[in-house]
């Protein structure tokens, strides 16, 4: 099978890219041809198809003038349409599998795919088909005000990073994409959490078009190490990730070391808070990836995922359990689907630092039992979230849209 795989980043920027590259490797190892379509970038992995990639677009670095000039690309990228048309003329594809593509690539590429009658599959890494800012989180709270097509609330509430311009652009983008019927062009959505599948149905998407298929990891890629005695958070340092709640729990557990790995827009603010409140038990590790990150995870007493937005199927949880480390996660989104409470981790009430600190104390007070919990989690990942099961499920979805055997 020839699979056109679309993701705007062609390097491991985050969890979505990990899924993208994991699936690419899995499909190729099973004899399929994967044709990537992405964006140019200095950090990109090598590809024989890079000549077809669109030019790099980084809105965060652009000035006001360039942002305005680039606005049209968010809504409709003529460059992406032209380049994918050329790619399709040079390479045969049985289907197109989209991951994260909005803003830089845009649904402008749907037209050439439809013209060639190539089925379209979209993995739901976020909530973009329902929410202009993709998170259903704004001004420090979960928000579903755009339900029923009321996308003007994005502009009204300045949901895009508090920016009036950004919020206007995302509002216009959603109305345009819905008017053009782009999401109706998708033959199958893949929800990697039951929560996201149910949320899509709640927002009016037909259940028949949504398949549940969780993310996976290979436990053989993760080592089990001795507990080195610290609580770990790793990920993006932003408001919706619940770092403020994590730091509040650290104030209540000053005898327990907290390590925070990652970078993000609120990194400076969180570091200032730690200094201001004399949280000497909190240590920032900076950005970590690859073997260094895996080692940091495997040596933790536990990992905390304190998110306060609708998390999907976070790789942080899967990778931690695969490393034999128990996870304490908030009771929101798809997180509770991955953690068996009191078996391979704990669930705490979202935003409740007292509940979180108590769960951390439970782990810390009996670290031998905590390691046993982590090993139960590793077995669960090996049995339920493995590459073999994911491949079987993915092939069933692929075959259902192309209507022919593999």
Query: Could you please report the per-residue DSSP string of 160-191?
Result: TTT-HHHHHHHHHHHHHHHHTTTGGG-SEEEE
Helix, coil or strand: residue 215: coil
Q: Tokens 């590259």: give the residue.
A: 21
CATH 3.40.50.2000 fits 219-384, yes or no: yes
CA distance linking residue 55 with residue 41, whole number of Å: 8
Contact 81, 111 (CB under 8 A): yes
Report pLDDT digits (tens) over 59-114.
Answer: 666 555 566 656 777 889 999 999 999 999 999 999 999 999 998 899 999 999 99
Q: Is the torsion defined by CA of 103, 108, 112, 115 positive or negative?
A: positive
Report pLDDT digits (tens) over 383-402.
Answer: 999 999 999 999 999 999 99
Please name which of 64, 65, 39 lies closest in space to residue 50, comparing C-alpha atoms.
39
Helix, coil or strand: residue 121: strand
Tell me the backbone φ, ψ of residue 158, rounded to 5 degrees: 50, 55
Tokens encoding 123: 């993995």
* Residue 134 to residues 151, 167, 215, Cα–Cα distance (Å): 12, 12, 19
Please name which of 198, 231, 192, 195 lies closest in space to residue 309, comparing C-alpha atoms.
195
CATH 1.10.630.10 fits 2-125+187-216+386-402, yes or no: no
Tokens encoding 253: 């557990």
pLDDT at 64: 57
| DSSP-assigned states of every residue in 347-401 | EE-TT-HHHHHHHHHHHHHTHHHHHHHHHHHHHHHHHHS-HHHHHHHHHHHHHHH
pLDDT at 14: 84
Residues in the chain, pLDDT under 50: 404-406
CA distance linking residue 15 with residue 314, whole number of Å: 7
pLDDT at 279: 97
CA-atom Rg of the chain in angstroms: 21
Judge if 2-125+187-216+386-402 and 219-384 fold alike in CATH terms. Answer: yes
Q: Are strands 258-261 and 188-191 parallel, antiparallel or unpaired?
A: unpaired
pLDDT at 73: 78
pLDDT at 66: 61
Helix residue ranges, H only, 203-337 = 243-252, 267-276, 290-298, 315-322
pLDDT at 74: 83
pLDDT at 70: 65
CA distance linking residue 189 with residue 198, whole number of Å: 12
| Distance, first Cα to last Cα, the chain | 7
Please name which of 95, 61, 46, 56 lies closest in space to residue 79, comparing C-alpha atoms.
56
CA 162 distance to own-chain centroid = 22
Tell me the backbone φ, ψ of residue 286, rounded to 5 degrees: 80, -170
Tell me the backbone φ, ψ of residue 54, rounded to 5 degrees: -75, 160
pLDDT at 405: 44
pTM: 0.93
Burial per residue of 52-65, b for 16 or more beta-carbon CB atoms within 10 angstroms, e otherwise: bbbeebeeeeeeee
Give the residue extent of every domain in the chain: 2-125+187-216+386-402, 219-384
Tell me the backbone φ, ψ of residue 235, rounded to 5 degrees: 150, -165
């Amino acid at each position: 099978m020839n699979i056109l795989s679309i993701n705007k980043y062609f390097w491991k920027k985050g969890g979505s890219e990990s899924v993208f590259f994991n699936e690419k490797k899995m499909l190729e190892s099973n004899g399929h041809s994967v044709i990537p379509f992405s964006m140019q970038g200095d950090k990109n992995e090598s590809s024989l198809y890079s000549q077809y990639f669109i030019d790099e677009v980084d809105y965060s670095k652009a000035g006001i003038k360039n942002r305005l000039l680039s606005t049209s690309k968010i809504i409709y990228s003529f460059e992406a349409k032209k380049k994918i048309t050329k790619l399709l003329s040079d390479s045969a594809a049985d289907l197109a599998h989209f991951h994260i593509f909005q803003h830089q690539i845009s649904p402008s590429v749907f037209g050439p795919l439809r013209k060639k009658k190539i089925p379209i599959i979209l993995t739901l890494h976020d909530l973009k088909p329902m929410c202009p800012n993709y998170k259903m989180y704004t001004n420090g709270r979960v928000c579903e005000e755009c339900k029923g097509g009321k996308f003007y609330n994005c502009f009204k509430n300045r949901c895009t990073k508090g920016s009036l311009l950004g919020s206007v652009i995302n509002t216009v983008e959603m109305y345009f994409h819905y008017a053009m019927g782009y999401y109706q062009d998708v033959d199958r959505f893949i929800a990697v959490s039951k929560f996201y599948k149910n949320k899509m149905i709640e927002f009016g998407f037909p259940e028949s078009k949504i398949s549940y298929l969780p993310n996976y990891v290979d436990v053989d890629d993760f080592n089990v190490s001795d507990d080195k005695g610290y609580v770990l958070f790793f990920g993006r340092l932003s408001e919706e990730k619940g770092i403020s709640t994590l730091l509040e729990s650290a104030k209540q557990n000053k005898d327990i070391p907290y390590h925070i790995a990652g970078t993000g827009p609120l990194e400076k603010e969180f570091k200032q808070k730690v200094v201001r409140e004399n949280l000497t038990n909190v240590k920032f590790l900076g950005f970590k990836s690859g073997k260094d990150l895996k080692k940091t995870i495997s040596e933790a007493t536990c990992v905390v995922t304190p998110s306060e937005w609708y998390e999907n199927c976070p790789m942080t949880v899967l990778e931690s359990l695969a490393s034999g480390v128990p996870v304490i996660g908030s009771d929101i989104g798809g997180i509770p689907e991955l953690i068996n409470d009191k078996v391979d981790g704990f669930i705490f009430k979202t935003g409740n630092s007292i509940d979180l600190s108590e769960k951390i104390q439970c782990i810390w007070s009996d670290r031998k039992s905590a390691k046993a919990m982590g090993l139960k989690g590793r077995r669960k990942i090996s049995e339920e979230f493995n590459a073999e099961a994911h491949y079987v499920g993915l092939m069933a979805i692929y075959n259902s849209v192309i209507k022919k055997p593999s």
